[in-house]
Amino acid sequence: MVLDRTTAPGAAGHEGARGHEGNDGNSLDALIDEQERVLLERQACSHALHGRASQVLAGGVTSSWQITRPQAIFIERGAGSKIYDADGNEYVDLHGGYGAGLAGHAHPAIVEAVTRQVRRGTHFAQPCEDAIVVGEHLAERFGMPQWRFTNSGTEATMDAVHLMRAVTGRDLIIKVEGCYHGHHDAVQVSVAPEEDDGIGPATCPASVPASSGIPRAMVDLTLVATFNDLGSVAHLLDAHPGAVAGMIIEPIMMNAGIIHPDEGYLAQLASLLQGHGALLCFDEVKTGLAAGYGGATAATGVTPDVICLAKAIGGGLITGAVGATRDIMAHVANGDYEMVGTFNGNPLSMAATRAMLEQVATAGAYEELGRLRRRVARELGASIARHGLPAHVVSAGAKGCVTFSTTPVRNYRDFLTVDGRFNHLHWLFQLNGGVFLPPWGKTEQWLLSVQHDDADVSRFTDNFEQFAAAVGALLRGGNKID
Ligand SMILES: Cc1ncc(COP(=O)(O)O)c(C=O)c1O
């Protein structure tokens, strides 16, 4: 059974996606069955809402990755570190809205800023002073002098790709196998391909469309490299001399669990690309404020040519940003590349983003997030050791995940060998124990917010201990994993 978000579980439905009928109650699949049964018992209202939603919303949800097994869960409200579902169940929210929730819910500073701005008008399509302040803060944190705003991560990476092409006059781009950069054509390539998709050798991965609807002509403009493998990039640059505009990369991969760059990899990548007249874009949509005060850019000390942000910077509101060097942004300023959008930098988003940067994601907040992160890693690591799980904890800033492998995962090909059922079972144990992790657990990470505390962490680590004990007993008993 494959368990990742590319398998369109909603289409298969709860039973249809299973494929493990007749298990004997002593297997990983049997544990999943049991936990899914418990979850469904707690979700009568969500079940009814999903039925109603399916009449008017395709798949009964508003974004395809909200379709989770065994069913979509409807959320009613959030407060502080918690969210509450339609059935009234309370969860410690470590889903964080797929990484946007660094502020937690209804943070007083965000509520105040948004309330104030709503009363003063929410949209003018003209610049406002808050946008300058946000730009000044981002310039200081990310060491990138000039910025523009978008409404999502997808728009940010789309503009970044256009900009790299506009500045260099070249059409080809390089992306990394297993990196997700949003849903526009140029980056909908080799996002989460399966082995039988004709992915080619790891030294020279094939360009595989991520879904239907992506024209082959677009796929052919996107070359694919392997994370932590400079040779795979050098090979592409040599094979296409003078034709590569630039490379887009998550500096810490966060759509395949968490994969850190090897020591020196990003710096060497920057100079390799520079040597070929190609640009480097860090997609910090996920890492951004979640990885630290100045994102992965500040944490690694490598400054790219272009940076994309979204998710957490908006304090829970809708915003994205593109930062670049003055030389690159001159192409925007002089109209060579028109970076446009009706709602770009709208006053509501800018008010929330300003509050996020000035009052929420402060240096002090990162100290506390670091303390909680270390506690989570220590306690989960102890449970893993106590119960002999084939797993380890990987974290970065406010984000973390359990990777179900005894050896480090260095790239997407390593990630493919991880059995996603462990992550799904972990997700179910947490959900039934009152902690909401992001679904598609093999791919995703938890996010601590500035409003989480030790009691929240205890609920999380206690649930993990129960999960680890159940899986450990299964493994020690020599019971079925396959
Ligand atoms: C690294 C990365 N880039 C871009 C995006 C696209 O962002 P959005 O969903 O806001 O369009 C995502 C979304 O998960 C992401 O993880």
Q: Whose CA is nearest to atom 3 of ligand 1?
A: 181
Is 250 close to ligand 1, i.e. is its CB under 6 Å away? yes
Same domain as 401, residue 340: no
pLDDT at site 203 = 94
Ligand 1 pocket: which of 154, 158, 227, 306 to mutate (most atoms within 8 A of CB): 154
For ligand 1, the distance from its centroid to the CA atom of residue 154, given in whole angstroms, is 6
Alpha helices of 301-339 — where are they, by DSSP H?
Answer: 326-333
Domain boundary, last residue among 360, 375, 391: 360
pLDDT for residue 17: 29
Range of the domain at 50: 5-102+364-476
Q: How far is CA 12 from CA 9, 70, 130, in A?
A: 5, 10, 46
117 lines ligand 1 (CB under 6 A): no
Residues 330 and 419 in one domain: no
**Binding site membership of 287 for ligand 1 (Cβ less than 6 Å):** no
Whether the CB of 366 sits within 6 Å of ligand 1: no
pLDDT value of residue 477: 85
- Out of 85, 93, 130, 283, the active site residue is 283
Q: Which two tokens mark 145?
A: 């002098």
Q: Assess whether the C-beta atom of 322 lies below 6 angstroms from ligand 1.
A: no
The answer to whether residue 138 sits within a structural domain is yes
Residue 482 is assigned to a structural domain of this protein: no
Q: Could you give the C-alpha distances from 192 to 91, 189, 273, in angstroms and in order? A: 29, 9, 25
Q: Is omega for the bond preceding 108 within 30 degrees of 0, making it cis?
A: no
Residue 379 domain flag: yes
Give me the number of domains the chain comprises: 2
Determine the residue type at 482.
Answer: D
> Rounded to the nearest whole angstrom, what is the distance from the C-alpha of residue 115 to the centroid of ligand 1?
27
CA angle, 155 then 158 then 160, to 5°: 110
**Alpha-carbon dihedral sign for residues 293, 464, 257, 355:** negative
- Are residues 54 and 186 both part of a single domain? no
Please check whether residue 294 lies inside any domain of the structure. yes
Residue 311 is a catalytic residue: yes
CA of 284 to the centre of ligand 1 (A): 9
| Among 309, 330, 360, residue at a domain's last position | 360
Do both 353 and 376 map to the same domain?
no
**CA 400 to ligand 1 centroid distance, Å:** 17
Ligand 1 pocket mutation pick from 180, 253, 317, 349 by most atoms within 8 angstroms of CB: 180
What H or E segment, with its residue span, contains residue 310?
none
Q: Which residues contact 196 (CB under 8 A, 6 or more apart)?
A: none
- What is the CATH number for 214? 3.40.640.10
Please indicate, yes or no, whether residues 432 and 470 belong to a single structural domain of this protein: yes
- Nearest-CA residue for ligand 1 atom 4 is 181
| Same-domain status, 232 and 343 | yes
**CA-proximal residue: ligand 1, atom 16 (nearest):** 286
Amino acid, res. 372: L
Same domain, 276 and 136: yes
Same domain, 403 and 260: no
Query: What distance in Å separates the CA atoms of residue 276 and residue 278, rounded to the nearest whole number?
Result: 5
Residue finishing a domain among 360, 384, 399: 360
| Residue 481 located in a structural domain | no
In a domain, 340, yes or no: yes
Closest CA to 125 of 349, 310, 324: 349
Q: How far is the CA of 29 from the centre of ligand 1 (A)?
A: 31
Q: What is the pLDDT of residues 247-281, one digit of tens each?
A: 999 999 999 999 999 999 999 999 999 999 999 99
Cα(437)–Cα(85) distance, integer angstroms: 14
pLDDT at 219: 98
Nearest Cα residue to atom 13 of ligand 1: 182
In whole angstroms, give the CA distance from residue 149 to residue 156: 8
Does the beta carbon of 440 lie inside 6 Å of ligand 1? no
Write down the pLDDT at residue 3. Answer: 46
Integer Cα distance of 356 and 310 in angstroms: 12
Do 468 and 376 reside in the same domain of the chain? yes
Residues of the chain whose pLDDT is less than 70? 1-25, 480, 482
> Which tokens in the block code for residue 23?
């298990």
In a shared domain, residues 332 and 461: no
Atom of ligand 1 nearest to the CA of 320: 10
- 406, burial (CB in 10 Å: exposed 0-12, middle 13-18, buried 19+): exposed
Mutate to test the pocket of ligand 1, among 285, 308, 322, 349 (most ligand atoms within 8 A of CB): 285
Residues 368, 338 within the same domain: no
CA–CA distance, 360 with 380 (Å, rounded to integer): 27
Evaluate: CB of 177 within 6 angstroms of ligand 1: no
Active-site pick, 4, 91, 159, 180: 180
For residue 310, how far is its CA from the centre of ligand 1 (angstroms)?
7
pLDDT of residue 441: 85
Respond yes or no: is residue 84 known to be catalytic.
Answer: no
- The helix/strand/coil state of 13 is helix
Enclosing H/E stretch for 148 = strand 146-150
Q: Which amino acid is at 413?
A: R
Query: In terms of domains, do 336 and 201 share one?
Result: yes
310 lines ligand 1 (CB under 6 A): yes
